[in-house]
Structure 1
Amino acid sequence: MRIFKFGGASVKSPDAVRNVVRVLQHQGTENTLVVISAMGKMTNAFERLIKAYTEGTDDVKPALQAIKDFHIEMLDGLFEKGDEVYTEVTYLFGELAGRMAINTSDDYDYVYDQIVGFGEILSTTIVSAYLTKIGIENKWLDVREYIKTDSNYRDAKVNWELTETIIKEKVDTSKLNITQGFLGNNGEYTTTLGREGSDYTAGIFAYCLEADNVTIWKDVPGVLNADPRVFTETELLQKISYTEAIEMAFYGASVIHPKTIQPLEQKQIPLYVRSFDDLDRSGTTVLKSNGIEPEVPCYIVKKNQILISVAAKDFSFMVEDNISDVFKKLHDYKLKVNLIQNSAISFSVCVEDKFNSFDKFYNDLKETFKIKSYKDVTLYTIRHFNDDALDSIKKKGKAIIRQINTETAQLVIQENV
């Protein structure tokens, strides 16, 4: 059994969908489960719809229409007018409108999960129908019937025991299966596994089915040592150990989702990251080994960070009791911590405000502590750094914090404008 994952760039247009078919035909379609994300930038489009809906603005109708128009264009590029899939897509948009009409909850995270998942449902419905149209037999699976989670909306935790039981009992591994990434279910409502969670979905199915391997198909040749959108010179990493992959994911490497590696490592399932454009290239392999090959500096960039410096109002030491208070607030407001540094009288963290809760956190914390923040800073992490690598980052702006150990250097930079 193999697990393939195709992200939004893989299905962003009719030609892209046809290319997914090319990949499947080249690799073979039996004994394969395919995880597919929302098409193109549709998750962003759904987030705009959710924002307008929860804020009650006049942008709801145009935001919804833009999503409908995109998917109708996809259908028109792949099918004949009147094909059954048009009815299926129309029904899904009717279900979406119905959910928005009857919702009474003001819990943003809950509302988000009930709406955003339609991107994946629409995407897989279209791809599955197209495969059927061209004669490739497949089974469409609603992932919400398979992956069971808690009710921590937008960052749900998997109930591994129940999920594994259901997947082993219900998935026919001899067939080509098409399912959604990112989504789960708490027994009653849709949940999501965190942004970019489709990679994690592939890892979940691989673990539960004891798959031979997982392949993430990308628009890059594999895992590069730096983001080509930020750095002009990059190098392909041919092999990465599980440990190194977890380290890179922890620091924010975007090619592999942070939660993906752990279930694969537990059952020694290799992960391949390959180009969907060049099928002759082997890409990157993540497996049980040591370090990376070749061993070169690896750059991880996280923009739009907030650096927070906290000190006690009475000039006392920042020690376990008051630091624990700060961490509790960080947890309560769902601020993701990417760097920690402390001295005798101050404590600094670099955080990511995924849930737009920083202002509430700040106002809460300032009642007890002196707090200073730097917004819109960039966190650069260099694995296997050398002097040249450090110098190249220092040129990008003012370094507010530098933190270096034997393998990893991190710099919080106020970048030059």
Structure 2
Amino acid sequence: MRVIKFGGSSLANGQRFNTVCDIIEAKSQQAPVAIVVSAPQGVTNHLLAMTEYLHSDSIEQQLEQYQHLVNGIFDQLDNLPRPFNRHHAEQAFASQSQKLKRWLNGAAMLDYCPDHIRAQIICTGERLSVAILEALLNTDQQTIAVFEPELFLRTNESSLDAVADLVLARQLFSEHYSERHRISVMPGFIGVSPSGKTTTLGRNGSDYSAAVLSVCVNAQCCEIWTDVDGVYNADPRLIKDASLLEHLSYQEAMELSYFGAKVLHPKTIGPIAQHHIPCLIKNTLNLAAKGTLISDTSQVTKQVKAISNLDELTMINVSGPGMKGMVGMASRIFACMSNENISLVLISQSSSEYCISFCVYSRDAYRAQQSLQTEFELELLNQLLDPIDMQSNLSIVSLVGDGMHHQRGVAGKLFSSLAQARVNVIAIAQDSSERSISVVIEQRKSTDALKVCHQNFFSKRHTIDVFIVGCGVVGSALLTQIGRQQASLKKQGIDLKVYGIANSKGVVFNRDGICTSEWQTEFSQAVDLKKEFSPLSVSVVKDFVREQHLINPVLVDCTSDSALSRQYVDYLDEGFHVITPNKKANTDSWQYYRQLRDAARKTNRLFLYETNVGAGLPVIDTLQKLFQAGDKLVQFEGVLSGSLSYIFGQLDQGVKFSKATQIAKQNGFTEPDPRDDLSGMDVARKLLIMAREAGMALELEHIKVAPILPDNFDTSGSVDDFMQRLSEVDDYFVDKASSAQQQGKRLRYVGKIVNGECQVSIEAVTSDHPLYAIKDGENALSILSHYYQPIPLVLRGYGAGADVTAAGVFSDILRTQAWKQDI
């Protein structure tokens, strides 16, 4: 015989009842079946609400609403092809309704509903499901039997959360039901106490009823039919890429159900595990799904099988100097909880014996605290114990798997994942079986912890959650490159999404990720409609990240804005990586320069700025690795501006200075205002960054800047006015270039670090100089160090253009992948 249980979601309406009947008839052709049913979806909640609102004037109204709900199911069944004996169903429902009305009126007179009466009321929904199945399955060809749980399913005296007596239940069942029918039906959730009162097995206890019935009939299998495909390795409502588990051992299933897996009732596994009855979880809404099989067989190919979370918990701490060495303290604490009928979810004790901590459901926390204060009143008065401390709004996150046994590194990987998610661990528990590791954390961080742990234990994907500020030349090129590389990144296991784009007007978010090929349309529509469009601020972006539980947020600043650069520390403190080609932060005060690095180190986040010097050239990373390896800078020379490289390279070809500048501007090599390049300050900023990377505590004013343009040239006015006047200096540069050529030299705008001093100036370099051949927007850096001498390390490549800079930024973005090592 197979025991098959159908949950409330499988019986939500007439069509679902019809599907259930199809499944029952198909299964009964293979072997006799015993069906256990829950109440139709929503019915138990409705009945429970009736027991809470006992005003006599509202009882009739609530009963009418209940009648309307049930009539709706009857009407749906009438309109289906399957024959439905509505008269039988209505008679059974009328009989139940009369009892229901009598119980409710009695409770209203008392203005209180006793637990044993509440049990009678809330289990009428299961009896309704049985009556409907009888009306659908009883035909001339077949008659289904009904198992009455009151005849055999004996429990303890707990009216609303009873525990079954398996031995007695099995004995009584064999006495009352020796004959086997092809189809039998039993209402779930119901038991009977030794005193003969109706009990219930706890909310969602029909699974437990099915397990008990499976033991009574020696079932070959217990099937639980619900509205999901089976048990997943994480809650699929929180983790989109959670995967179905095809097999679980009894022990794994027990741990998962205990620590929050919603598919199984925690009490269900005990009876079927004790009697080695396989349990199959199936989906009524997806008959083709394979489901999850729970049995003796253990598959230990994976060390961690699943991750679960249990919310709405409170941790209670009993601590104080009187704890240490005092015999019986633990037994008194737990006796208090037992007397209050409070379940302990997790227990942890410090090795110093100073503190015992345990978690209870938050609904029980106040009673637990009051009980402990009464029990330890004298110890509290004499300050042998500290005041009973409670910490609420907590969750337990648990890793579960038979394969964890004696495997090194699992706990380390868990705590590394929690650190990656910026989650603080409040308490830890692991039993000697090593089948599960549980940590107590803040409930608001529960989803973040689940996402990171699931990614690191079960997925080969790395997530990068990007917010781009500035959608000008570089920002637009970056978005284009990201869009072009999406398919390739996915093949590499990198899930990079742009969740927000901002400019001076504000920021646009998309919780599903902005389509990078259509970002301009989405951005402009948001601006026009003012939809999800607000001024950029740390708090606005932080709130979005928290709401969407993004675990690897990256702020990319493609602006030249000083105000935003001053907020980098705030973004780092809130858990963002910060990436920028904006040089303003790194050339701010030395104090802020150090503050940025301290913030990145403290928060374990990256501050990346490879494109600050040399655009796409690997300048910063190369220097940092050299200096980390103990190298010291001796001397530096470099052409650090792609735009000036292009302009001075054109002078070598005889092109006038004004013409060369105009071409550079048209090609996007210069800033929108070429004066920013020609002032020399851009090169000075880059040189300052180089010096600071070498450990020099310099400020921008310490850089000696020799201007490119003559001192008497007027640089005021608009950009157009400036460009028109620029021809006035053509002769000045013709003379300088000619003089250099006569000596076999070329003009270059060079940044130098010599003997701890930094200067930027026009220099005439000889043909054997590393910077002699630099032109067409190239950058070149000649680094003389303790390791690289007398021949310097030379880095050379294009240092101007939006695509080159965007590619460097893109490379930095990819460096924010959370590094992990498979154990």
TM-score > 0.5, shorter chain as reference: yes
Q: Tell me how far 1:360 sits from its aligned partner.
A: 2.8
Kept in 2: contact 1:32–1:173 (CA 8 A): no
> Residues 84 and 267 (structure 1 numbering): CA distance in 2 closer, same or farther, change over 3 Å?
closer
C-alpha distance in 1 between matches for 2:141 and 2:341: 46
C-alpha distance in 2 between matches for 1:311 and 1:107: 39
Q: Tell me how far 1:179 sits from its aligned partner.
A: 0.8
Specify the code of the residue in structure 2 equivalent to 1:45. H
Match of 2:330 in 1: 323
35-44 vs 164-173, which moves further: 164-173
Kept in 2: contact 1:333–1:358 (CA 8 A): no
Q: Does 1:288 align with 2:296?
A: yes
The count of corresponding residues between Structure 1 and Structure 2 is 412
Kept in 2: contact 1:244–1:291 (CA 8 A): no
1:237-273 residue CA offsets vs partner (Å, 9 max, x unmatched): 1121223223333334332222222222233221111
Q: Tell me how far 1:112 sits from its aligned partner.
A: 2.5
Structure with greater strand share of residues: 1
Kept in 2: contact 1:335–1:357 (CA 8 A): yes
> Residues 91 and 232 (structure 1 numbering): CA distance in 2 closer, same or farther, change over 3 Å?
same
Match of 1:75 in 2: 74
Which of these residues, 100, 104, 109, is aligned with residue 100 of structure 1?
A: 104
> Residues 133 and 293 (structure 1 numbering): CA distance in 2 closer, same or farther, change over 3 Å?
farther
Match of 2:39 in 1: 38
> Residues 278 and 235 (structure 1 numbering): CA distance in 2 closer, same or farther, change over 3 Å?
same
Match of 1:300 in 2: 308
162-171 vs 35-44, which moves further: 162-171
Kept in 2: contact 1:240–1:292 (CA 8 A): no
Match of 1:14 in 2: 14
387-396 vs 216-225, which moves further: 387-396
Q: Tell me how far 1:388 sits from its aligned partner.
A: 5.8
Match of 2:709 in 1: none
Match of 1:253 in 2: 261
Secondary structure, aligned partner of 1:366: helix
Match of 1:374 in 2: 391
Q: Tell me how far 1:123 sits from its aligned partner.
A: 1.9
C-alpha distance in 2 between matches for 1:188 and 1:121: 18
Match of 1:157 in 2: 163
1:317-347 residue CA offsets vs partner (Å, 9 max, x unmatched): 2755122111112112222211111122221
Q: Any gaps of 5 or more consecutive residues in structure 1?
A: none
Secondary structure, aligned partner of 1:201: helix
329-338 vs 253-262, which moves further: 253-262
Specify the code of the residue in structure 2 equivalent to 1:348. S
Q: Tell me how far 1:107 sits from its aligned partner.
A: 6.9
C-alpha distance in 2 between matches for 1:21 and 1:31: 14
225-234 vs 250-259, which moves further: 250-259
Q: Tell me how far 1:60 sits from its aligned partner.
A: 4.6
Specify the code of the residue in structure 2 equivalent to 1:15. Q
RMSD over aligned Cα, in angstroms?
A: 2.8
Match of 1:127 in 2: 133
Q: Does 1:348 align with 2:347?
A: no
Kept in 2: contact 1:244–1:292 (CA 8 A): no
Match of 2:24 in 1: 24
C-alpha distance in 2 between matches for 1:212 and 1:127: 23
Q: Tell me how far 1:175 sits from its aligned partner.
A: 2.3
Q: Any gaps of 5 or more consecutive residues in structure 2?
A: 79-83, 381-386, 405-409, 446-545, 547-823
> Residues 321 and 96 (structure 1 numbering): CA distance in 2 closer, same or farther, change over 3 Å?
same
Match of 1:182 in 2: 189
Q: Tell me how far 1:230 sits from its aligned partner.
A: 2.1
Kept in 2: contact 1:271–1:287 (CA 8 A): yes
Specify the code of the residue in structure 1 equivalent to 2:398. T
Kept in 1: contact 2:304–2:399 (CA 8 A): no
Q: Tell me how far 1:391 sits from its aligned partner.
A: 5.1
Q: Tell me how far 1:127 sits from its aligned partner.
A: 2.3
C-alpha distance in 1 between matches for 2:301 and 2:47: 39
> Residues 21 and 330 (structure 1 numbering): CA distance in 2 closer, same or farther, change over 3 Å?
same
> Residues 81 and 219 (structure 1 numbering): CA distance in 2 closer, same or farther, change over 3 Å?
closer
26-35 vs 402-411, which moves further: 402-411
Which of these residues, 350, 354, 365, is aligned with residue 358 of structure 1?
A: 365
1:138-194 residue CA offsets vs partner (Å, 9 max, x unmatched): 123322222122212212232333321221233332320111111101252210122
Kept in 2: contact 1:380–1:393 (CA 8 A): no
Q: Does 1:191 align with 2:199?
A: yes
1:361-412 residue CA offsets vs partner (Å, 9 max, x unmatched): 3223224252111222211111147466555555275432233564422122
**Which one has the largest radius of gyration?**
2
Q: Does 1:145 align with 2:151?
A: yes
C-alpha distance in 2 between matches for 1:396 and 1:96: 52
Q: Does 1:402 align with 2:422?
A: no
Specify the code of the residue in structure 2 equivalent to 1:207. V
164-173 vs 175-184, which moves further: 164-173
Secondary structure, aligned partner of 1:25: helix
Specify the code of the residue in structure 1 equivalent to 2:24. L
Match of 2:593 in 1: none
Q: Tell me how far 1:42 sits from its aligned partner.
A: 2.1
157-166 vs 177-186, which moves further: 157-166
Kept in 1: contact 2:224–2:281 (CA 8 A): yes
Specify the code of the residue in structure 1 equivalent to 2:397. Y
238-247 vs 91-100, which moves further: 238-247
Q: Tell me how far 1:95 sits from its aligned partner.
A: 0.8
1:210-254 residue CA offsets vs partner (Å, 9 max, x unmatched): 111111112222221111112222122112122322333333433
1:248-304 residue CA offsets vs partner (Å, 9 max, x unmatched): 333343322222222222332211111223333332111112255655441111111
Match of 1:275 in 2: 283
Q: Tell me how far 1:350 sits from its aligned partner.
A: 1.0
72-81 vs 109-118, which moves further: 72-81
Secondary structure, aligned partner of 2:219: coil
Specify the code of the residue in structure 1 equivalent to 2:342. L
C-alpha distance in 1 between matches for 2:319 and 2:56: 40
Match of 1:167 in 2: 173
> Residues 217 and 345 (structure 1 numbering): CA distance in 2 closer, same or farther, change over 3 Å?
same
Kept in 2: contact 1:33–1:177 (CA 8 A): yes
Secondary structure, aligned partner of 1:412: strand
C-alpha distance in 2 between matches for 1:17 and 1:82: 14
Kept in 1: contact 2:33–2:184 (CA 8 A): yes
Specify the code of the residue in structure 2 equivalent to 1:129. A
Q: Tell me how far 1:37 sits from its aligned partner.
A: 0.6
C-alpha distance in 1 between matches for 2:327 and 2:50: 43
Kept in 2: contact 1:239–1:293 (CA 8 A): no
Secondary structure, aligned partner of 2:388: strand
Specify the code of the residue in structure 2 equivalent to 1:262. G
**TM-score normalised according to structure 2 size:** 0.47
Kept in 2: contact 1:241–1:292 (CA 8 A): no
C-alpha distance in 2 between matches for 1:391 and 1:51: 46
Kept in 2: contact 1:52–1:58 (CA 8 A): no
Q: Tell me how far 1:59 sits from its aligned partner.
A: 5.5
> Residues 327 and 146 (structure 1 numbering): CA distance in 2 closer, same or farther, change over 3 Å?
same
C-alpha distance in 1 between matches for 2:252 and 2:86: 50
Percent of matched pairs sharing the same residue: 24
Secondary structure, aligned partner of 2:138: helix
